[in-house]
Amino acid sequence: MRSSLLGALLPLVPLSAAAPAEPVKVPRHATVVTRQTLLSNYTFIIAGGGIAGLTLADRLTEDPSVTVLVIEAGPLDAGQDGILVPGAYAPWYYFWPGLNTVPQTGLNNRTISAITAQVVGGGSTINAMVYLRGDADDYNAWGALGNSGWSWANMLPYFKKAETFTPPSAALAAAGNISWDDSVRGHSGPVQFSYPNYFYPGSANWWNAANEVGLPPVNDPQSGSKQGVFWIPSALDASTMTRNHARRNHYDRVKDSRPNYHLLTSNVVGKVLFNGKNASGVCYLSTTSTSTACSSNVYATKEVILAAGGFGTPKILQLSGIGRKKLLQKFGIPLVTDLPGVGQNLQDQPTLSVPYTFTNNVVPNYGSLLTNATYNAEQHARYDAGQSSAYTLVSSLSSNIGVLSLQKATSSYRQIIKAAALRDPALSLPADVDETVLAGYTAQRTAILKQFANNDVGVGTVHWSTADSALVYHLKPLSRGTVTINSTNPLENPLIDFRTGTDPADVAVYTALFRKNRALFAAPSMQALGPTEAAPFGAQLTTDEQIYAVMRDQINPSNAHQCCTAAMMPLELGGVVSSEQKVYNVRRLRVADISAWPFQLSGAPMATVYAAAERLADLIKKEYCLAGAC
Ligand SMILES: Cc1cc2nc3c(=O)[nH]c(=O)nc-3n(C[C@H](O)[C@H](O)[C@H](O)COP(=O)(O)OP(=O)(O)OC[C@H]3O[C@@H](n4cnc5c(N)ncnc54)[C@H](O)[C@@H]3O)c2cc1C
Ligand SMILES: *[C@@H]1O[C@H](CO)[C@@H](O)[C@H](O)[C@H]1NC(C)=O
Ligand SMILES: *[C@@H]1O[C@H](CO)[C@@H](O)[C@H](O)[C@H]1NC(C)=O
Ligand SMILES: *[C@@H]1O[C@H](CO)[C@@H](O)[C@H](O)[C@H]1NC(C)=O
Ligand SMILES: *[C@@H]1O[C@H](CO)[C@@H](O)[C@H](O)[C@H]1NC(C)=O
Ligand SMILES: *[C@@H]1O[C@H](CO)[C@@H](O)[C@H](O)[C@H]1NC(C)=O
Ligand SMILES: *[C@@H]1O[C@H](CO)[C@@H](O)[C@H](O)[C@H]1NC(C)=O
């Protein structure tokens, strides 16, 4: 494969030739190219060069007295069209290999391949570019779980700091119903975001049908509430109409001026090294190593920061001796601290594709790209010429999307909330769960049930590609899963159990979302296209039981939004990190990535991962008086 070949050739990418004088060379894995230099110690070592990792590395190296090493399991992307051109979207180049769930008991025991990135930039390099904040209550509720300093009001400046919004043309905004509130959008940050410059005519039918079933136009989905329909903000650089990923905005953008920013690619952090309870560095090995143990150490003079994503971070913690005592004992891993919350609380945002056929669909639609070679060639040529083009839309997505509260999804919302409130939370977790983790889940459940009653918080998303399928996303699951090491080999994948659909409230909410999508297709503006809900669904499925019986076989437990496996909550609530994202009971170790979230947002993760890393960078700068922070 082209991509992995390039990765093998570029294992270490120092930022310039101006490496510090007389660097100490430490042994590296034999397959590593030897022209580069690694220092024996860095001020900060970051495990994982995804969204959170690169954002922090950029911000911390603003101080020239600081040195940062990012160790990333994947290579630099090769700039393929499949990465950079939205309409050529091909994320599979950089999927983490061999990752599967264990059989999902709530989903007919299906085993599903679990998707996460293994590439510099992490998810931002291969994701669907949806750049969407959560709702205000999400951050407020995280704060109310005992995380001081977390609220929508505190996050808003960081959302803005993170990004630069480029508006669409006035003509497109008017024709396409694009609206926004400039006061909540950033204008000078590194992440470029904008909108595609094209829409399929059928997306107007969908928009109007959504309006007809109570999903009105939203002025700005980034303003803390988004009940209705809106254009999807996209992590798209409007100057080139290409993906703006963390590799671009937090590495390429600054690399020429940052000799203190080092990136070691295609290497895996195996574990954190400790000096007593102080994190002192990491050991690492080549991602393609045939050895099963770390061979090389590198040291951090201030902190080790974990940013390896929702699967990677709990795995590193467990391998390092931070996790549930029972588990670590089973593998003979010396205990650094017993934190039973590590690897618990796994959540994602399940997805469901609902197929449709049409007697009267409008063309062109997304399907035209696949079936009409003339249209495809024409749109490709227009894209290459910098004109409006379907290639500015992420392949398989259309331009607009809808988010809905539980009240908007179903008039039965009170019954759903009541039944969920009566359920013993312990029934929703694995039988042998630690009592602190149960206490934390109980607190989360209360917070999420409040959100179910709040008409400003989304619980689901609906979308239509304009071709043969609709998508229904479940944003706020109550089911909780686990990530657990299965050996001490850092190159072996952990056991992933989403436990999707094991909580009956999730079944009720998701079925309600399915029905709302069905209602949208039954509204006059969609009926004009002659849609028929197709197999394995169909109009013959009328009861909730019949519908969910098919859903159980169709739901994908993941939208690659895996989170919350090293949750920020008080220790007595099974938390792993404090509100400053410091791992409890040890020093000099933080978690920067999506693992630290308590629970899923009413949105997509990317925008919040960027903003939360901006926030954390400021906290760290203040703590150590870096870059003039004090
Ligand atoms: C295919 C796909 C589509 C998605 N679509 C969207 C979307 O449209 N909108 C949206 O908001 N979100 C989307 N997401 C999710 C979003 O990209 C992630 O939630 C986000 O990237 C998480 O950021 P992070 O920094 O926590 O982790 P990541 O960005 O995943 O970064 C973690 C990095 O750590 C590396 N790593 C893991 N373990 C180790 C180790 N032991 N040593 C060294 N490195 C390690 C990984 O290779 C990875 O690069 C999508 C994700 C995928 C994969
Ligand atoms: C870090 O490395 C430098 C050489 O690059 C060395 O002079 C210094 O003593 C090291 N510091 C620690 C704490 O190991
Ligand atoms: C799933 O597997 C479990 C445990 O092996 C079993 O008890 C259950 O009956 C299975 N469910 C289905 C639907 O096959
Ligand atoms: C925009 O909104 C108007 C008014 O509701 C509607 O007539 C039109 O079809 C919509 N167009 C799109 C592209 O959503
Ligand atoms: C750990 O760090 C603290 C200060 O952060 C220091 O007082 C202590 O001596 C260190 N312990 C070890 C074993 O290095
Ligand atoms: C295919 O696309 C071309 C160019 O846009 C268009 O003229 C033609 O009508 C399309 N054919 C069909 C069958 O839709
Ligand atoms: C977990 O480890 C056991 C014992 O080594 C092995 O048999 C099993 O295949 C592993 N499971 C996965 C999913 O890797």
Instruction: Read off the pLDDT band of 40 (50, 70, 90).
Output: confident
Residue pair 265/7 in contact by the 8 Å Cβ criterion? yes
pLDDT at 13 over 90: no
Cα of 106 from ligand 7 centre, angstroms? 21
Q: How far apart are the first and last CA of the chain?
A: 48
Tell the residue nearest (CA) to atom 27 of ligand 1.
Answer: 309
CB-based pocket (< 6 A), ligand 3: 105, 108-109
Cα of 395 from ligand 1 centre, angstroms? 19
User: Which atom number of ligand 4 is nearest to the Cα of residue 207?
Assistant: 14
User: Which atom number of ligand 5 is nearest to the Cα of residue 275?
Assistant: 13
- Express each pLDDT in 512-564 by its tens digit: 999 999 999 999 999 999 999 999 999 999 999 999 999 999 999 999 999 99
Residue pair 357/365 in contact by the 8 Å Cβ criterion? no
User: CA 602 to CA 138: how far, in whole Å?
Assistant: 7
Percent pLDDT > 90 in the chain is 93
User: CA 334 to CA 337: how far, in whole Å?
Assistant: 9
Sequential DSSP letters for 364-430 = S-HHHHHH-HHHHHHHHHHHHTTS--GGGSPTT--SEEEEE-HHHH-TTHHHHHHHHHHS-GGGGS-
Tell the residue nearest (CA) to atom 12 of ligand 3.
Answer: 108
Q: Read off the pLDDT of each residue in 180-186 and give the average, rounded to a whole number.
A: 98
Q: Ligand 5 pocket test: which of 278, 303, 585 has the largest number of ligand atoms within 8 Å of its C-beta?
A: 278
Q: What is the pLDDT of residue 4?
A: 29
Tell the residue nearest (CA) to atom 1 of ligand 4.
Answer: 177
User: CA 426 to CA 424: how far, in whole Å?
Assistant: 5
User: Binding residue per annotation — 457?
Assistant: no
> Which residues lie closer than 8 Å to 78 by C-beta, 6 or more apart?
2, 3, 6, 93
- Could you tell me how far CA 124 lies from the centroid of its own chain? 8
User: Binding residue per annotation — 373?
Assistant: no
Q: What is the pLDDT of residue 479?
A: 98
**Residue 326 CB coordination number (10 Å):** 11
User: Binding residue per annotation — 472?
Assistant: no
Cα of 308 from ligand 4 centre, angstroms? 42
User: Binding residue per annotation — 269?
Assistant: yes
User: CA 598 to CA 496: how far, in whole Å?
Assistant: 18
User: CA 187 to CA 170: how far, in whole Å?
Assistant: 18
Cα of 105 from ligand 3 centre, angstroms? 6
Q: What is the pLDDT of residue 37?
A: 74
Residue pair 457/137 in contact by the 8 Å Cβ criterion? yes
Listed range (254-263, 415-424, 578-587) with the worst mean pLDDT: 254-263
Check if 381 has its Cβ closer than 6 Å to any atom of ligand 6.
no
Q: Read off the pLDDT of each residue in 385-397 and give the average, rounded to a whole number.
A: 97
- CA proximity to 602, closest of 344, 300, 334, 218: 218
- Express each pLDDT in 217-248 by its tens digit: 999 999 999 999 999 999 999 999 999 999 99
Provide the mean pLDDT of the chain: 93
Check if 276 has its Cβ closer than 6 Å to any atom of ligand 5.
yes
User: CA 12 to CA 363: how far, in whole Å?
Assistant: 48
Cα of 418 from ligand 3 centre, angstroms? 29
User: CA 94 to CA 506: how far, in whole Å?
Assistant: 31
Cα of 43 from ligand 2 centre, angstroms? 10
- Express each pLDDT in 441-467 by its tens digit: 999 999 999 999 999 999 999 999 999
Q: Ligand 1 pocket test: which of 93, 263, 606 has the largest number of ligand atoms within 8 Å of its C-beta?
A: 606
User: Binding residue per annotation — 241?
Assistant: no
Cα of 136 from ligand 4 centre, angstroms? 27
- Could you tell me how far CA 380 lies from the centroid of its own chain? 29
Cα of 556 from ligand 2 centre, angstroms? 49
pLDDT higher at 14 or 252: 252
The vertex-307 CA angle with 490 and 588, nearest 5°, equals 95
**Half-sphere CA count of 604, side-chain side, radius 13 A:** 23
Check if 90 has its Cβ closer than 6 Å to any atom of ligand 6.
no
Dihedral in degrees, nearest 10, Cα atoms 566, 568, 569, 570: 90
Q: Read off the pLDDT of each residue in 9-33 and give the average, rounded to a whole number.
A: 30
Q: Ligand 1 pocket test: which of 132, 593, 601, 616 has the largest number of ligand atoms within 8 Å of its C-beta?
A: 593
- Express each pLDDT in 462-477 by its tens digit: 999 999 999 999 999 9
Q: What is the pLDDT of residue 293?
A: 86
Instruction: Read off the pLDDT band of 36 (50, 70, 90).
Output: low
